[in-house]
Amino acid sequence: MMLYSLILRVAARLLVPLLLLFSVFMMLRGHNLPGGGFVGGLVAASAFVLYALAAGVQQAREVLRVEPHTLLGVGLALAYGAGVLALVLGKPFLTGLWLHPHLPLIGDFHLGSALLFDLGVMLVVVGTVLLMVFSVEDRLPGLVEE
């Protein structure tokens, strides 16, 4: 049984970069508008799952470049790091830290440790979904055989 079609494959080629871009956008706007690391992570994971459906798990792994385990580890480290950073500066664990640089083209800009935390959440979500999907696919091959 094959769901593997030319149309899906071509569509995926176009959609995946857009979805990934969209996921980053969702993650970044999350602090002030609907979005955030969790949703961003789900969107990014969907992009890779779509690619896996269209072109095969092996290809999706290659496009991802890193193993899902690595994403999990880096994500957790970023989130915990954002907390520890406050600890290092003598504040309680996970206190939000902010920088307010004035950038030449953009103007006033706020940069917070919350962003680091959200990025960690996003990577963990992507890692979780992909680790599950890839290992289920490894175990039960059939849908996307090449």
Partner 1 sequence: MLFAVLSIFLGAALSPLVVRVSRQAAGWILGLLPLGVFVFFARQVPTVAHGETVRQSFEWLPSLNIPLSFYLDGLSLLFALLVTGIGTLIVVYAGGYLAHHEQLGRFYVQLLSFMGAMLGLVLADNIYVFFIFFELTSLTSYLLIGFYHTEEESRVAARKALVVTGGGGLALLGGLLLLGQVTGTMEFSEMLSMGAAVQSHPYYLAIFVLVCAGAFTKSAQFPFHFWLPAAMAGPTPVSAYLHSATMVKAGVFLLARLSPVLGGTAVWEGTLGIVGGFTMLMSAWLALRYTDLKQILAYTTVMVLGLLTMLLGVGGEEAITAMVTFTVVHALYKGGLFMMAGSIDHETGTRNVRELGGLRNAMPWTMAGAVATGLSMAGIPPLFGFIGKEMTYEAALHADSFGILLLGVSVLANVALVASGLVVGLKPFIGEQKGAFTREPHEAPVSMWLGPLVLGALGLTFGVYPALIDHSLLQSAQTGILQESHELHLALWHGFSPALMASLVTFALGFTVYATWESIQESGVMAGLGTAFGHGPGRVFERGLYGLARFSEGITVLFQNGRFRWYLFAIFTSVIVLVGGGLVEAQVGWPEFDGDVAYYEAALAGLIMLSTFVAVRTTGRFIAILALSVGGYGVALLYLLFGAPDLAMTQFAIETLTLILLVIVIIHLPGIEEEEPLGVRLRDGAIALGCGALYTVMMSVIVSSPLDRRVSEYLAQNSYTEALGHNVVNVILVDFRGIDTMGEITVLTIAAIGVYVLMRMPRRDAHAEADDEVPAEEGAASTAE
# residues contacting partner 1 (CB under 8 A): 58
C-beta closer to partner 1: residue 105 or 108: 108
The answer to whether 68 contacts partner 1 (rule: CB under 8 A) is yes
Tell me the closest approach of the beta carbon of residue 10 to partner 1, in angstroms: 19
Distance CA 63, CA 50 (A): 12
One residue of 34, 90, 104, 107 binding partner 1 per CB under 8 A:
34
- CB under 8 Å, gap of 24 or more: what pairs does 83-92 form? 83/117, 85/113, 85/116, 86/113
* Interaction pattern, residues 77-116, with partner 1; x per rule: CB under 8 A: --xx--x---------xx-x-x-----------x-x-x--
Helix axes 113-139, 57-64, angle to 10 degrees: 160
- Contact predicate 36/119, CB 8 Å: no
Q: How far is the CB of 8 from partner 1 (least distance, A)?
A: 13
Q: Which residue has the tokens 């990934």?
A: 20
CB closer to partner 1 out of 49 and 55 = 49
Q: Exactly one of 45, 54, 55, 60 binds partner 1 (CB under 8 A); which one? A: 45
Q: 103 - beta bridge partners?
A: 107
